[in-house]
Amino acid sequence: MNSNETDALGYYAALNLHCDADDAAIKQNYRDLAKHWHPDHNTSAEALDNFKKISVAYDVLKDEDKRLVYDLLSTVYAKDKYPDPDMIKPLRAASGGADVQALAIENVRGELIRYKTATDRCVCSYREALRLEFKSSVLNWLLGWWHPRAFFKNIRALVNNFNNVNSRAENAHLFIHNAVAYRHDGKEDMALQSAAMALPYASPRQSCLLKRFIGGASVAMPKRPAWNYLNLQLVQLVMPLALVLLALMPLSVKVVSESDLLNYFAEKKEIDYNQQVEFRTGGSMSDDMVVGKVVNIPVDLSDSSKLYHLTSEQNLMYGPADDFDVMRRLKSGKTVRITGYTPDNIWFRVMLDEGEMGFVRQEYLRQGVGAEIPYGSKIVKR
């Protein structure tokens, strides 16, 4: 068993005990050692220091609550960083929130002739975690390749950051610390919640101690906040996906020919455009407009083959669709000149005697002159 995880300040060692010693063994060993090192009976130079050490150790280990706190903190702190249990405070996010978790993010910066690596360890809220993971990913992808050795270190950092969004060791340290700190502050519900959140990350010894800690609580188990770790991973993929899209963009460019456009309009029939108007005083309104593609026919007034007549009374439309407004009503037999058509041959653009042009459905037109063409008409050459 790792001594770092059992006896950070050497209290068990001072009493010649194993960390699993019972109360009777603690009392017996203390009595024996106190008799041996008591300054009234031992005149050696180290007697007083040793007596003080065993007295401090006994004062902690004989008290069930103090011993439990000592055992828990010993699992996450070494001697040089062990906190004062009477001064310990909860670890919080930079924003001050209590819903926190721990992150360890690896950063690599290549600088051509040299490179730098660093691991940022922080306690943060979920929103802060998303921002930090995204920022680190972007900078690693942009700046982490510019040195031969940095190249391979950056690959490892990117993989580790993706896999370690829910770091076991970092979160065990955070939640055990906060469990002790919140209990010290008298916030039993927060202490219980932190201990429960530490359990999934705990070692076997930590798990045993945490269950004792939870078992001694005087409040009901609160609901644990849930983090979406998948989002913390996906946010790291934004930059590589953007780079892939940039790389593929040249392959998506296609030159569109006139024949392509005609085929497109022939299949689609109509295109919908949305026109939005914004008012200076606020608000907006939208207006839908349908526009068709028309194939032009060169106008040759001497060409009688383009003269048609209506088989029945019909509306002349402003555009090649029934959604357009009606220009006028045309009588049956009216002679007109064809000047264009839609690729699907549903609508013909026709010219009237006055030179006006509009659209009539092809099914209501027959080739040839119908009613007599009036003098001065612009659809024929006189």
* pLDDT of 282: 47
Q: Please, what is the Cα angle at 261 between 259 and 266, to 5 degrees?
A: 95
Sequence ranges of the domains in the chain: 3-62, 258-291, 295-367
Sign of the CA dihedral running 85, 88, 90, 91:
negative
* pLDDT of 283: 47
Give the fold, CATH level 3, of 295-367. Answer: SH3 type barrels. (2.30.30)
Q: What is the pLDDT along the chain (382 residues), one digit of tens a residue?
A: 444 457 999 999 999 999 999 999 999 999 999 999 998 888 898 999 999 999 999 999 999 999 999 999 999 999 999 999 889 999 988 887 778 889 899 999 998 889 999 999 889 988 999 999 999 999 999 999 999 999 999 999 999 999 989 888 899 999 999 999 999 999 988 899 899 889 989 999 999 999 999 886 665 555 666 788 899 999 999 999 998 888 888 776 555 555 565 555 555 444 443 334 333 344 444 444 344 578 888 888 888 999 999 999 999 998 888 888 899 999 999 999 999 898 888 999 999 999 899 999 999 999 999 999 998 898 998 7
Cβ burial, residue 333 (10 Å; 0-12/13-18/19+) = middle
* pLDDT of 276: 40
Phi and psi at 360, nearest 5°, equal -135, 145
Q: Report the CATH architecture of 3-62.
A: Orthogonal Bundle (1.10)
This prediction has a pTM of 0.60
For residue 66, give the H/E element and its range. Answer: helix 64-74
* pLDDT of 248: 86
Go through 285-308 and write b for each residue having 16 or more CB atoms within 10 A of its CB, e for each that does not.
Answer: eeeeeeebbbeeeeeeeeeeebbb
Phi and psi at 76, nearest 5°, equal -125, -10
Decide if 330 contacts 310 (C-beta within 8 A). yes
Q: Please, what is the Cα angle at 40 between 36 and 45, to 5 degrees?
A: 70
